[in-house]
Chain A
Amino acid sequence: MIAIEAIKFNHDTNAATHDAFNIRQNATKFISVPEWRRFICVNPEDSRAAYAIAPTRGNPITIEVSLSSTDPGVAFIEVRVEHQVKARPVNFVNGKSGFVGFELIKPPVTHGHVGIWDIAWHWEYRVGPHHPWQHFATTRHRVYVVLDVPTDPWKQAPYNAGNTQLPWTDVLDYACHWAEGATSKDLAAALVTQRVYALGPAIVTYDCPGGGSSHYSWGSFDCTAFIDRLRGGIGNGIYLNCSDCATIVSTFADALGCNLWQSKMGWGFALNELLAIGSNTWQTACGWGSFSYHEVAWEGGGTANDDVFDGCLQVDGDGDPTVAPHIPLLPQDLRFGNPGDLLYRDRLATPAGRPNCNPQPATKQRRLVV
């Protein structure tokens, strides 16, 4: 009998150019290589691999597979997965092949867009070119495709169980789904922003009772609690604020290879009417009239010339954001701007508040994920 013993998707943990990049499941669970092991992995989620489009573009994608044979008469065979894994010869020594490289045929990363694929590989072998292919095993895998290798706060090194900043598949499960089909970083970040805002009011809502305080990102990003909340658990409760939204948007987008920061504006400025996350009432954020500060996911240097993604609120997108009627506009890839530009700053703050609603690039950060 021929069997697949193990499959390595991330066979080169120092590079992501020809194979999968380094990942873990969450803060406590590491994903070791080989990702697929016989008798242990049954369902796709038991065998996860993540690929980045940019570094793999134009390169052959390879896996490494270990096979076994209990038939002493079989020492040389060809192995393939039709349409998915290129056929290649495999030699057995004492019934074992060791890890041998296989090239993938049009793997999901070559589709060029963000997504999650659950794949089933039906492995076949033949004993010679004039013999028929025979099915001998099926393996199932979950493949994540992102635009580029995840950026900070996510790290690729060191690759060990102690590095909790390796990209989490618990995050990719949502981020790749939210940004499915995205072919550019701006589009991916915009889709993440939309999906975060759409979590209100059922999953999360703006913290009016608590004065707009942070429940998930005070200090580090309590991503474990946030994912619990996404899955229907209590998490840290239903409320969040702008810092939480900025952190969620940027951290999830950065897992897709985007390059967003969490950065603040301030201090103490009057607001135009807006739609806070979870609310369908145009008002000045819980009726307060002003923010002492606001935080968003921000590109570049976090300056007036850089674009923001705000998953926390919708501003008035019409020609005069200071008065009704209002046209909801979720800020996505919107320049922060200067007073009078009718860009993000003017839409968020009143004319009197705009001089105090200044970018604060010194606050730019990417919170640690815990």
Chain B
Amino acid sequence: MQAEQKRFVEKRFSAREWRGQSKHGRRSIRGFSFEQWKVPGWKLQRVQHDHPAKQTTVHSLWSHGESTSELLAVDVFECSSVEAAHDQVLEALGNMQSGVVERLDGKNTPGDVAFGLNDTMVLFALANLVVLIRNAGPSVVQVGEIARQLDKFLLRRLESKPTDKD
């Protein structure tokens, strides 16, 4: 992201309030895959692993049963640190045109920090991971509950592992 745009995004989403902070200290998750994560009623259509310089990205596409009218794109970015994950959050926010994407808060908010729009898109960071859940099919579905399920799944993995000192 270009420097001026990054400054705009940091300011708009009050990055100072959350950047670099995680409830899970320096714990991290390595080698994420969708193999063990099941969402009732949803079928994994496609998964693709990218390995660019900064992080590993797992792109996935899910359909609601056999229908392709309800599709979800779930992307997981595995970053080197909490700081890198939060940079990735800003990068994702910088790719969203809407002026009304907002920070999510409250008891059921997934991750260390989360952003969303009308429960049809959720972006959150948990430790060193960034998760982006978006609709990809013409029939729009709510994504909040799915985000919370994935958050719980990741939390279990995070808490079952010894602390990674990066």
Contacts and interface: CB of A to CB of B under 8 A. Distances in A.
Q: Do A and B bind each other?
A: yes
Interface of A: 205, 207, 209-215, 218-219, 234, 236-239, 241-243, 264, 266-268, 285-286, 288-294, 360, 362-363
Contacts of B45: 234
A291 B97 contact: yes
Contacts of A209: 117-118, 120-121, 134-135, 140
A215 B136 contact: yes
B36 interface: no
A291 B92 CA distance: 15
Interface residues of B, number: 33
A211 to B, nearest CB: 4
Nearest to B1: A363
A235 to B, nearest CB: 9
Contacts of B137: 237-238
Q: List the 3 closest pairs (A to B, CB-CB), nearest first.
A: A237-B136, A212-B97, A290-B99
A239 B140 CA distance: 11
Given A210-B121, A362-B2, A363-B2, A292 B96 contact: yes
A212 B118 CA distance: 13
A234 B69 CA distance: 10
A211 B121 contact: yes
B52 A219 contact: yes
A214 B135 contact: no
Interface of B: 2, 4-5, 8-9, 12, 45-46, 52, 61, 68, 71, 73, 92, 94-101, 117-118, 120-121, 132, 134-138, 140
A243 B96 CA distance: 9
A203 B138 CA distance: 10
A360 B4 contact: yes
A293 B97 contact: yes
B97 A285 contact: yes
Contact of A218 (B61, B95, B136): B95
B66 to A, nearest CB: 12
A170 B149 CA distance: 39
Contacts of A219: 52
Given A234-B61, A234-B68, A363-B2, A211 B98 contact: yes
25 contacts: A209-B120, A209-B121, A210-B121, A211-B100, A213-B96, A213-B97, A214-B95, A218-B95, A234-B45, A234-B71, A234-B136, A237-B73, A237-B135, A238-B136, A239-B134, A241-B97, A242-B97, A267-B8, A268-B99, A288-B99, A291-B98, A291-B99, A292-B12, A292-B96, A293-B94
Given A215-B136, A288-B98, 19 more contacts: A207-B134, A210-B117, A210-B134, A211-B100, A211-B121, A213-B95, A214-B95, A215-B73, A237-B61, A237-B71, A237-B136, A237-B137, A238-B138, A266-B5, A285-B98, A288-B100, A289-B100, A360-B2, A363-B2
Nearest to A237: B136
A286 to B, nearest CB: 7
A363 B138 contact: no
Contacts of A241: 95-97
Nearest to A233: B68
Contacts of A360: 2, 4-5
Contacts of A285: 97-98
Nearest to A364: B2
A266 B96 CA distance: 12
Contact of A292 (B8, B73, B92, B135): B8
Nearest to A362: B2
Contact of B134 (A213, A266, A288): A213
A293 B140 CA distance: 24
A219 B77 CA distance: 13
Nearest to B46: A234
A239 B98 contact: no
Nearest to A363: B2
Q: Among B9, B45, B95, which residue has the most Cβ atoms of chain A within 10 A?
A: B95
Nearest to B59: A236
A353 to B, nearest CB: 10
A211 B5 contact: no
A268 B61 contact: no
Contacts of A211: 96-98, 100-101, 117, 121
Contacts of B52: 219
Contacts of B8: 266-268, 292
